[in-house]
Amino acid sequence: MIITGKIIDVHKRRIYPGTITIAGGKIESVIETDQAPGIYIMPGLADAHVHIESSMLVPSHFAVAAVRHGTIAVVADPHEIANVLGREGVEFMLDNAANVPMKMIFGAPSCVPATSSESAGARIGSADIRDMLAKGRVKFLAEMMNFPGVIYDDGEVHAKLEAARSAGVPVDGHAPGLTGEELKKYIAAGITTDHECTSIEEALEKISGGMKILIREGSAAKNLETLAPLLNYYPDDVMLCTDDLHPETLAKGHMNKLVARLISMGYDLFNVIRAASSNTYRHYRIYAGQLRPGEPADFIITDDPARMNIIQTWIDGQCVYDEGRTLFAPGEVQKVNKFKCTRLLQDEIRIINEGEKINVIVARNGELLTDSEIVRTGDEPFVMPDTDNDILKIVVKERYNDKPPAVAFIKGFGLKKGAIASSVAHDSHNIIAVGTNDRDLVAAINLIVDAGGGMSVVSEDGEAILKLPVAGIMSDMPVTAMAARYETLSETAKSLGCRLDAPFMTLSFMALLVIPKLKISDRGLFDGIAFRHIPLFVPNPHDKYRT
């Protein structure tokens, strides 16, 4: 096979007309020519950190979608499904990914459960990590979110890190805002990356300590514009990632969109492409070619690197995408799940008024971070939602056991009627719901219980559900169908008055305890700064018996 075009050589930093000869899945030769057609041949793209589960697609369907956008490799943390199913969930991701040609490498999830302050479906300990790494199917230790455990010498946390060091694999980090001596201790434990930087100053301190910085631009957290200047000064220490990517975003683009944006912003083309390809291959030891003889024939063809419209994608010498057609099938999808809870009753989410003030979560549009407010309860016997002031009820019901739900209040969703619910709720993926009244809240939750997972909207106008039969967090549908149904459900939620850009995405992060400030788990409100549960009712300082 011979392909001719303008070759983008990221190592010699030049673009030249040339011919690539492919044989046996590898590049046999690269020969410079006098002229070439107006297409560009460049290294295939890699996502340096992604939770495939957040796309609500199984790995094989994710691959079908991503190769259309020039992605040939992903570094995947199966943390979400591991919190539902443990090692069985990780094995499911590995087995499903094996059905497709994309170079997917998976890590051993380091934080299952993510914290001890919520109920997850499984536990992965240091002995599991050691065994998983020894078997060789997982290739790195996934993000160590428990940075307090690293800093304060938690024995189990350090046993996991030692397992990774003994196996000689990379260790991913997760240390939002960590600085000073605590950061130095975190890095000294062998943690090599961070994707949580939100400022240049934070990123520079981490780079100076020896970390690689993953510039993140996903469906929720967006740090690309802020951190892009790192490409000018530390191009070898930067990679690009999405972290969490929802289906409607993936349907429109993947790493190609990040590359095009950075080039349009004026950043050096070679630095940008390396951050989206070879830097990731090198750090995670992915056996992927970079347009050099003897390496795998992995590359993409585009009409213009500044626009990154993908014409073809090649992996191991096979064309896997060609002008609108993905040239492989995802295969059959095994249904794995864990749902043991029963339907909810309205009495279970009523809140008796026991004080004058309550702590209220404040959601921010497009952000993982939340705020908190203290709100007066009034004189009614029950604390009820107040739609005039956007004080809505939020409920978390554990799905792994039949236990009473946690109930609190939240501001920022803007619903005027009805309720929304989801079993996609990071990190433990219990059922979470926000609503204006108890009837619709219970109905929305029960739709998900009956379906064994999904997202729902309920109001006086009717009911709608998007079923997620794989672990309660993924579908077996292709990206186009999934994106269309997800967008329709989101628009239905917005029709009830929700003013958030992505209602279900925001809802899913309200249970993410490792991101401050105030969140909720199945055990109640959680202060993400003090890292402890707090009561719904604000204690009266004059009442020595109240806690």
Tens digits of residue pLDDT in 131-154: 999 999 999 999 999 898 999 999
For residue 540, what pLDDT is reported? 75
Q: Which of 310, 303, 214, 296 is nearest to 257 (CA)?
A: 310
- Round to whole Å and give the CA distance between 7 and 31: 10
Per-residue pLDDT at 322:
97
pLDDT at 367: 81
The whole-number pLDDT of residue 219 equals 82
Closest of 47, 6, 63 to residue 256, by C-alpha: 47
Which residue reads 């967008």 in tokens? 487
Per-residue pLDDT tens digits for 88-105: 999 999 999 999 999 999
Q: Write down the pLDDT at residue 516.
A: 87
Higher-pLDDT residue of 378, 3: 3
- Specify whether the CB–CB gap between 134 and 111 falls below 8 A: no
Instruction: Give the per-residue pLDDT at 541.
Output: 64
The mean per-residue pLDDT over the stretch 99-126 comes to: 95
**Is 545 a residue whose pLDDT tops 50?**
no
pLDDT in tens, 455-507: 999 999 999 999 999 999 999 999 999 999 999 999 999 999 999 999 999 99
Rounded mean pLDDT of 402-424? 97
pLDDT the model gives residue 542: 54
Which ranges of 276-413 does DSSP label H, i.e. alpha helix?
278-284
pLDDT band at 221 (very low <50, low <70, confident <90, very high): confident
22: Cα separation from own chain's centroid: 35
Distances (CA, A) of 527 to 107, 312, 403, 451, 512: 29, 48, 22, 32, 11
pLDDT at 128 over 50: yes
**Which superfamily, per CATH, for 11-16+37-326?**
Metal-dependent hydrolases (3.20.20.140)
H helix or E strand, kind and range, residue 79: helix 79-85
**Buried b / exposed e along 71-97 (16+ C-beta atoms within 10 A):** bbbbbbbbbbbbbbbbbebbbbbbebb
Over residues 64-85, the pLDDT tens digits come to: 999 999 999 999 999 999 999 9
Domain with CATH 3.20.20.140 in the chain: 11-16+37-326
Q: Where are the alpha helices (DSSP H) in 316-359?
A: none
Opening angle at CA 518, ends 467 and 384, nearest 5: 70
Q: What is the pLDDT of the chain when averaged over all its residues?
A: 95
Confidence at residue 37, expressed as pLDDT on a 0 to 100 scale:
92
Q: In the prediction, which pLDDT does 547 show?
A: 32
Torsions phi, psi of 352, nearest 5? -70, 135
Q: How high is the pLDDT of residue 368? A: 83
Q: Residue 318: is it exposed, middle or buried by C-beta count within 10 angstroms (0-12/13-18/19+)?
A: middle
Query: How far is 68 from 71, CA to CA, in rounded Å?
Result: 7
Contact between 109 and 90 under an 8 Å Cβ cutoff? The reply is: yes
Q: What is the pTM of this model?
A: 0.93
What's the pLDDT score for residue 127? 98
Peptide bond into 236 cis (omega under 30): no
- Residue 46 pLDDT exceeds 90: yes
Task: Give the per-residue pLDDT at 546.
Answer: 35
Average pLDDT over residues 188-216: 97
Neighbours of 290 (CB within 10 A): 21
Report pLDDT for 284. 98
Task: Give the pLDDT of residue 378.
Answer: 87
The predicted structure's pLDDT at residue 115? 85
Which residue intervals of 209-326 are DSSP H helices?
224-227, 230-233, 247-250, 255-264, 269-275, 278-284
Cis geometry, peptide bond prior to residue 184 (ω within 30 degrees of 0): no
The whole-number pLDDT of residue 241 equals: 97
Query: For 16-29, how does the pLDDT look when each residue is reduced to its tens digit (9 = 90+)?
Result: 999 999 999 999 99
